[in-house]
Structure 1
Amino acid sequence: MTLKPFFLLLCLLLTPGLGLAAEKTVYGLNEYVRLFDLDLKLAAKLDTGAKTASLSARDIERFKRDGETWVRFYLAIDEAHSSPIERPLARISKIKRRAGDYDPEEEKTYTARPVIEMDVCMGHALRTIEVNLTDRSAFQYPLLIGSEALKRFSALVDPSLKYAAGKPACAPDANLGE
């Protein structure tokens, strides 16, 4: 009879994933987000198959400011800003090209995209994430949130849900979390 509590304890120790799941937030396939840097609310697609986040931008150009590389761009979103946005360049991301996007004469299997950091609110969570810039105007969602950003949000994605987190509800002075 004393083996039963021992067995239960052993089972709990061998299933560490259960404790971690309690700390995660469940999001849907699509969520409303607020881009604090731009004071803009929009719908995003959560994509665990993509590594990085992507924001729809056009007329992207790099320039120098005080010896640092910056990026100037316009949002490629119908109702968004008509003035240019300038942010420091965090890095350049190499995005793998899909089969239909690959040009054998170019011999490049990737596309280089500028990456910036942005403060993004989803539900009640505010996080700084890296976002690459590319024209997503042909897609339904101007922002795609990939697995690296989803990790920062401690997200579990349930594709059967949409807008599970509700409207973004982060205070401007909210803690940016980890």
Structure 2
Amino acid sequence: MRFQPLALLSCLLLIPGLLPAAEKTIFGLNEYVSLPELKLEVAAKLDTGAETASLSARDITRFRRNGETWVRFYLAIDDSHAHPIERPLARISKIKRRSGDYDPAESKTYTARPVVELDFCMGETLRTIEVNLTDRSAFQYPLLIGSEALARFGALVDPSIKYAAGKPGCATVANSAE
């Protein structure tokens, strides 16, 4: 076989493009996620088609505390969450309505949802994630993790597997710089 310098050079040029993929973690379509601040572990759906993360909450109200806007809510996951959770409001997210949820009589094609920051532990990785609050009790998974959060986790999602990362096992301090 004859040495092909051009073919070797082409292969070497492709290696830097493969390095970022080597640093990614493969997660399944569903993963267990710990929310240490809420003392909660839930099964989540990983959805690359959604932009943001959504947590099932009910009785969501905004209020002022020391000149800042906060959000008070109850988890809409099961009956054991009887105490309110209070978090600073990070922002308001405009979520595009699905065609079945859109009423042509209304001018809004989106739903405004409050967004808070929470620490998420998935696998061995802990990140601070923005999550919008909405009642997801009609859905199978109380937590949906969208593409923005998945990027923060360095995630590659393989929809043919579930719970690839196993039970969450994180340190207690989030590294929000990554």
1:138 — aligned with what?
138
Unaligned runs of 5+ in 2: none
- Secondary structure at the aligned position of 1:11 is classed as helix
1:17 — aligned with what?
17
Deviation at 1:36, TM superposition (A): 1.4
- Give the Cα separation in 2 of the matches to 1:116 and 1:53: 10
- Give the Cα separation in 2 of the matches to 1:128 and 1:137: 24
- Secondary structure at the aligned position of 2:116 is classed as strand
Conserved? CA contact 1:28–1:162, under 8 Å: yes
Count of residues paired in the alignment: 178
- Give the Cα separation in 2 of the matches to 1:2 and 1:20: 32
Deviation at 1:12, TM superposition (A): 2.9
Deviation at 1:95, TM superposition (A): 0.3
> Aligned in 2, Cα 1:153/1:56: closer, same or farther, shift over 3 Å?
same
Q: Which amino acid letter does the alignment assign opposite residue 128 of structure 1?
A: T
What RMSD in Å do the two structures reach over aligned CA positions? 1.7
Deviation at 1:74, TM superposition (A): 0.3
- Give the Cα separation in 2 of the matches to 1:91 and 1:55: 15
1:86 — aligned with what?
86
Indicate yes or no: 2:157 matched with 1:165.
no
Conserved? CA contact 2:58–2:134, under 8 Å: yes
Deviation at 1:9, TM superposition (A): 3.1
1:123 — aligned with what?
123
Deviation at 1:176, TM superposition (A): 4.6
- Give the Cα separation in 2 of the matches to 1:101 and 1:93: 17
- Secondary structure at the aligned position of 2:132 is classed as strand
Unaligned runs of 5+ in 1: none
Q: Which amino acid letter does the alignment assign opposite residue 98 of structure 1?
A: R
- Give the Cα separation in 1 of the matches to 2:159 and 2:119: 24
- Give the Cα separation in 1 of the matches to 2:79 and 2:172: 23
- C-alpha distance after superposition, 1:92-150 (max 9, x if no partner): 00000001100111111000000000000000000001000000000000000000000
Greater mean deviation of Cα atoms: 141-150 or 80-89: 80-89
Instruction: Spell out the pairing of 1:53-92 with structure 2 (5 A cutoff).
Output: 53-92=53-92
- Secondary structure at the aligned position of 2:43 is classed as strand
Q: Which amino acid letter does the alignment assign opposite residue 90 of structure 1?
A: A
Q: Which amino acid letter does the alignment assign opposite residue 42 of structure 1?
A: V
